[in-house]
Structure 1
Amino acid sequence: MFDDKAPSNAPEWSVSDLAGALKRTLEDSFGHVRLRGEISGYRGPHSSGHAYFSLKDQNARIDAVIWKGTFSRLRFKPEEGLEVIATGRITTFPGKSTYQIVIESLEPAGAGALMALLEERRRKLMAEGLFEAARKRRLPYLPRVIGVITSPTGAVIRDILHRLEDRFPRHVLVWPVRVQGDTCAAEVSAAIRGFNALRPGGAIPRPDVLIVARGGGSIEDLWGFNEEVVVRAAAESDIPLVAAVGHETDWTLIDHAADMRAPTPTGAAEMVVPVRVELMAGVNDLARRHVESALRIVDRRRSDLRSAARALPTPDALFAPKRQKLDLASAKLGPALSRNARTHEAQLLDLSRRLSRVSPAARLATMRARLDAIGQRPHQALTRSLVLRGENLQQISRRLVVSRDTLLRAERTRLAQASDLTQRVAERLAPALRSQIARKADRLEALSKLFESLSYKSVLARGFALVRDAEGQMLRSAQDVTEGRALVLEFGDGRAEATGGRGGGVRPKTPKPKTPTGGDQGALF
């Protein structure tokens, strides 16, 4: 049945050994590489925190993975379609027989990629409504406390403090942050949220306005202010925020999310406070105009009062018509009272006559006459009604007796028919039940034979053995057998205990002097 082949001296490899040798060869030959390509198939971090995607160009692609710890430290996060330069080491994944790059650092491939990434992020945040003009608030006219988020060692904070001192000295709180580098975005967003977390009236005063400031630089230097975490912190700030990042021609995403954008840090200081001297001059001018206006109003009201006083009539002229009307009314009062008394007396007599006709005595006499007229008529009507009802009851009783006999005869007929039907159904049910039981028994026997033919014990009966460790776990490879490890060998006719030897061999616990006479077909060891 089998073709005879010449013996070969080539060593035998296990799949795991070959995969390991290929892995070591690839890692030793390449080590760390810098790879340029386009990100493809990126769907965000896996639930484990690792990120899996591919890098491709026009002719080839390679799988890439970023472990969870490295992913959290990346300055630029992967995005679908972004061209990047990845630094990492080449290795293989034996589970899929593929090679891949384990990325340790990631950066966009040039300024063009940065601008493409910046534009894509700007459109995404704009679609979420973070740049809407409706959500921006007006700055307070004269804040009591100003919060500044910038580097404490640069010229920016000195320019802001000097400009505030020249215009209108205010209490300033500085939150020191790095304005460049990998931790810039995290520190700036933490500073914005930290100022917002201060409670009014607390030990540290809560600012009325915030300034996020930095000097000019390249797009890479200003990139920390383009990160989503900074933009979202600026958009969520309850305190009005002024962004003063870079020079007038520099634009970052925080400029769109802030309530106000200043061309320079000095311009931000000019936006948040007015000029004190100009304000004092304006207040003095308003006070002078207020006093002059008040004096003019007093003079005009005094003149109006004099004119109104001249137009008023004398007291005699005011009371003369009223006094005359009072004299006429007193002359008419006596005759009017007499007429009113006579009118009410006539009404009282008319009501007395009407009440006498409906008095209780008159009503009782009328009711007594009606009762005498009725006499014995109710008693006679009641007697006739009782006689009629008795006759009706007798007729109903006779009809009920006839109906009861008819119903009893119909029920006896229905019960006899139901009994015959039940007997016929029972005669057909017994053979059908026996036939169903026979079919189920045949199917159970066929399944039992199929189970016996598929059981692994039938394989053991042909000379094979099943290897387990001391805990009962099945061992599938010789690499799982280590020296001194307790083993259990299950044969077709029972079990035997053994101990693992060197090189993956097996030594029985009790030596057996008997040497097998048959071939080695079906033996695992």
Structure 2
Amino acid sequence: MEEYDMPAGLLAEGRQGDNSPPLSVGELAQAVKRTVEDRFGRIRVRGEISGWKRHSSGHCYFTLKDDSACIDAVIWRGQAGNLAFRPEDGAEVIATGKMTTYPGRSKYQVVVERMELAGEGALMALLERRRKALAAEGLFDAQRKRPLPFLPPLIGVVTSPTGAVIRDILHRLEDRCPTRVIVWPVPVQGEGAAAKVAAAIRGMAGLAEVPDLLIVARGGGSIEDLWAFNEEEVVRAVAESPIPVISAVGHETDTTLIDHAADLRAPTPTAAAELAVPVRAELLGFLDELNARSRRCLTRRAGDARERLTLTTSRWPAADHLLGPKRQKLDEVGERLPRGLAARAHKAEAVMNLTAARLRPDLLRQKLDRLSDKLDAAARMLPIVHPDRPLGRGFVRVTAAADGRTLTRSADALAAGSLRLHFGDGEVAAQAGEGPPPPPPAAKVERSGRRPYVAPQPNLFD
């Protein structure tokens, strides 16, 4: 009987001839890890990306799958920044790296060092999926397109600072209509190109002097060369730009995703410059033509008006025919005017004579004497009726301290509060208020010993 066929005991113990001592879990996991890494130290695997996830640490985790199997994969942060495209689910890729195991989860995975799209077909499939996704968000809608300014004073250009593209744009602008240009230099292909192009497009809107028009340009090339302009971050930057954008990437047959997001697509960078500004000579010629047309129009209008005036005045009646009756009436009125004035003067003279008879000097003298007597009588009465005359006989005149108004009622005195008491020899300030009446003065006692009757005195403030 084999040794392993024997029934197991309660305690593990060494057996005769056993030269393989038990391994710990960690030892076994490390042994498997070394075996896998030694056997698959360098591999290339083709599959479809699924479950793509970029961790906050910068590492990327995903799964490579095909019709029959799947395998986990990881790209460390250092290699993830060097990818020439932005991976996404559904993209078919060829990943280069090495196999390893993750002992903490008892699983194996591919550590990817390099990853590329699996041929031009896979690249086009990825491009089409991205185009549909962005179009579904409305980034390519026609109603979002804005009209370009007719004659922009300042144009911004995002392109490579070297090469024929920027020279062609500047030369064509100079030939057509010289204008100011701001160039934001960026790499137009390779690693990091997409991020720098997107940053340049957004940065143009933050300049101290914001351009009136923006041109994003690049020369022709393969789909791989133009791929930076298909990246989602560049497309979104174009769609969100507050400045109208002309896309001029590649030749006429080349199409990128920013062509759909831009306000206008130019077939070439040179054509973009032509679309940006009009031809100055043609513009001046058009203005001259408009000036000549306006002069001809004014001359024709003046001639037409002159003809209408001549035609209208020719239909008017003669001046004598219109003014004859008025002139005759004026002559009649002129003849009656002296007679009317003379009659009016005689009537006025009769009225004046009648009035003059009433204005004899003796009658005026008598009336003046009567008026003088009345004035003297009023002057004599003035001291008698003066309100301060009774003050010398023990009376008091009460006035309000605020406005000097004479008060005749106790309620008015209480409402006024502050008072002035006017005596025969001066004034005294007083304050009105409720209070007990003052005690009566002591009465004189007659010799008979009987106290005389004293009538109660009224309160001056009641």
Query: Displacement of 1:234 after TM fit?
Result: 0.7
Q: Output the CA distance in 2 between the equivalents of 1:48 and 1:149.
A: 32
Is this contact kept in 2: 1:178–1:187, CA < 8 A?
yes
Secondary structure of 1:211's counterpart equals: strand
TM-score, reference length from structure 1: 0.56
Describe the shift of the 1:319–1:197 C-alpha distance in structure 2 as closer, same or farther (beyond 3 A): farther
Aligned to 2:290: 286
**AA at the equivalent of 2:236:** R
Match of 1:348 in 2: none
Q: Distance in 1 between matches of 2:226 and 2:117?
A: 15
Distance 2:80 2:316 in 1: 92
1:299 paired to 2:298 = no
Amino acid corresponding to residue 48 of structure 2 in structure 1 = E
Give 3-state SS (helix, strand or coil) of 2:48's partner: strand
Deviation of residue 105 (structure 1)?
2.3
Partner of 1:35: 45
Deviation at 1:253, TM superposition (A): 0.5
Q: Take 2:191 and 2:282, find their aligned partners in 1: how far apart are those partners?
A: 43
The answer to whether the Cα contact below 8 Å between 2:165 and 2:218 also exists between their aligned partners in 1 is yes
Say which SS state the counterpart of residue 53 (structure 2) adopts: coil
Distance 2:325 2:134 in 1: 79
Whether 2:99 is the aligned partner of 1:90: answer: yes
AA aligned to 1:266 is T
Instruction: Note the C-alpha offset of 1:71.
Output: 3.3
The C-alpha deviation readout for 1:463-517, integer Å capped at 9, x for no partner, is xxxxxxxxxxxxxxxxxxxxxxxxxxxxxxxxxxxxxxxxxxxxxxxxxxxxxxx
Per-residue CA deviations over 1:148-185 (Å, capped at 9, x if unaligned) read 11111111111111111111111111111111111211
* 2:164 is equivalent to residue 155 of structure 1: yes
Q: Is the 8 A contact 2:158 2:183 kept in 1?
A: yes
1:56 and 2:60 are equivalent in the alignment: no
Aligned to 1:169: 178
Shift in CA distance, 113/316, structure 1 to aligned 2, threshold 3 Å: same
SS at 1:34 equivalent: strand
Cα distance in 2 for residues equivalent to 1:318 and 1:207: 77
Q: 1:207 aligns with which of 211, 217, 237?
A: 211
Q: Which moved more, 1:128-137 or 1:3-12?
A: 3-12
Tell me how far apart the structure 2 counterparts of residues 309 and 35 of structure 1 sit (CA, whole Å): 101
- Looking at structure 2, the residues matched to 91 and 197 of structure 1 have their Cα atoms a distance apart, in angstroms, of 48
Q: How far does residue 308 in structure 1 lie from its aligned partner after superposition?
A: 4.5
Residue 117 of structure 1, aligned match among 116, 121, 126:
126
Contact persistence 1:148–1:212 (CA under 8 A): yes
1:220 to partner: Cα distance: 0.4
Q: Secondary structure at the match of 1:248?
A: coil
Greater mean alpha carbon deviation, residues 82-91 or residues 214-223? 82-91
Deviation at 1:275? 1.2
- Count of residues paired in the alignment: 315
Output the CA distance in 1 between the equivalents of 2:306 and 2:325: 25
AA in 1 matched with 2:289: D
Q: CA RMSD in A?
A: 2.5
Q: Is the CA contact 1:76–1:106 (under 8 Å) kept in the aligned structure 2?
A: no
CA shift, 1:69, in A, is 4.6
- Which residue does 2:187 correspond to in 1? 178
2:390 equivalent in structure 1: none
Secondary structure of 2:54's partner? Answer: coil
1:253 equivalent in structure 2: 257
User: Which protein has the bigger helix share?
Assistant: 1
CA distance in 2, matches of 1:308, 1:192: 67
What SS does the aligned partner of 1:44 have? strand
TM (norm. structure 2) is 0.63
Report the 3-state secondary structure (helix = DSSP H, G, I; strand = E; otherwise coil) of the residue aligned with 1:36. Answer: strand
Does the Cα contact within 8 Å between 2:60 and 2:76 map onto a contact in 1?
Answer: yes
* CA distance 1:306–1:36, shift in 2 (3 Å): same
Partner SS state of residue 101, structure 1:
strand
Q: List aligned pairs for 1:176-325, cutoff 5 A.
A: 176-198=185-207, 202=208, 205-309=209-313
User: Which protein is bigger by CA-based radius of gyration?
Assistant: 2
Give the 3-state SS of the residue equivalent to 1:191 in structure 2: helix
Identity of aligned residues (%): 60
Q: Name which structure has the greater RCO, CA cutoff 8 Å, separation 6+.
A: 2
CA distance in 2, matches of 1:74, 1:317: 106
- How many Å separate the matches in 2 of 1:43 and 1:138? 39
- Separation in 2 of the partners of 1:150 and 1:232? 17
Correspondence for 1:65: 74
